[in-house]
Structure 1
Amino acid sequence: MKLVVVSAGLSSPSSTRLLADRLAAGTLAHHPHATVETIELRDLATEIAQHFTTGFPPARLAAALDAVAAADGLITVTPVFAGSYSGLFKSFFDLIDKDALTGKPVLLGATGGTARHSLVTEHAMRPLFSYLRALTLPTAVYAASEDWGEDGLAHRITRAATELAKTLTPSAPAPEAPAPIPPPALTPTPAPATPDVDTTAAIAPRSLTGAITSVDPDHGFTITPFAERLAALQRT
């Protein structure tokens, strides 16, 4: 699991880098085996300008762009200039491929000299990363000069880092589908046995020369000649 931190601070030491490091440390508290790579944009300022003028990134800038694209999660922190993110910060993300951040979790952070700029993360940074189709986390952290050493800043850092850590938790693998059960083999049903019947005798026509006067279940019917039957009727 790889976490990439992008810091746009210009001074050294920098409160922007300090906030970025604390956010990364809070995330690593949940994922101690994750790897962290920090990109200092002030070290790439010349390469960023060259990319805009030549259309080709120098080697260090290309490596940084590739690292951001391959990251599982991002922490991005910028100082506030004229009420918004710095030009160096915007220039770097202008060079990111338009699909590189799609669905990638991004934790937003900013630093400034006064609390009046605390909404820079909402009106400037969040729309930028929404345009890049990144997944911006609900809690963004702004640190004014008077916030350092306060419990409120530490609480916001912990909450934001926890949100990022949860998005980086690998999901459980989907259970394997059970093997299909083959249908039972169809056993042909034997045709019912036919009794040995002399059908020829059963259906052979008889020549009837008299009337049927009685039926014997064991021997069939009895035929009485007409003349005999007529004589019996005349006697009665």
Structure 2
Amino acid sequence: MTLEPTDSPDPLPGLHTYEIQARLHESMPEYRFVATGAVQGEDEWMYGFVMGLNVYNENGESILSADFSEILEGKVIGYHVYNGMMDTMGLHVTDVNFDGYKDVIILNSFGGAHSNTWYDCWLWNTETSSFAASKSFAEICNPALDAGKECIYSAGGSGAGYWGGSIYKFIDGEYVVTNKLDTDWYGLVERKLINGKMEIVREVSYGEDKQILEREQEYYKNSELWQLDHPHWYWLGGHHADQWLGGE
């Protein structure tokens, strides 16, 4: 399915493109990254559609072409994304597996009651000099990169009683949960990846005792590992999260 987008500086109703020029590594030439989409209205909480992504090398040759469009009830649609992010469509060229080479991500979902975000991802393979899709990255809700600790923080995606999160690391070519804090109205369970299995390392029940709940929330805010009051644990998608995705 082919669309003929036209460049537009603002996400006005109609077809829209957003382009980045970036190097995957200082030793490599500059590539062009072009996202295409369709904006349906001017209200920031209306849905637009992310339709595709193309990457061109220094010779103008396509080295990655992804089409997200489909026909539903006679209408061409793509990935549903609130208009508030349709200006860039969440396109970032950034090192998400911490190997020193930049990769590319683009929004595949931003909407719903909780306004969570998920991204499609293609990792640069230095051996084949090509991009490869990462299905495991696409499962990370509201990702925030920490290059210093080589991990990704993930918050959101759960019910109103949830205030925990997950920490991912890139292990053997996949993004794996290494630490997970599950919470609800009645208690919490903290798990850690030990010898390839998630093991319970801490469990607390607080029921309706608000003092215990507040004590536990304070504990995880001050935890060196979790630091749950750090803003990289973002619960709503939007441009405020761009700072945690790095790159271009």
TM class, shorter-chain normalised?
under 0.3
- Higher percent of residues as strand: 2
Q: Which protein, 1 or 2, shows the higher relative CO under an 8 Å CA cutoff with sep ≥ 6?
A: 1
Report the TM-score when normalising by structure 1.
Answer: 0.23
Report the TM-score when normalising by structure 2.
Answer: 0.22
Task: Choose 1 or 2 for highest CA Rg.
Answer: 1
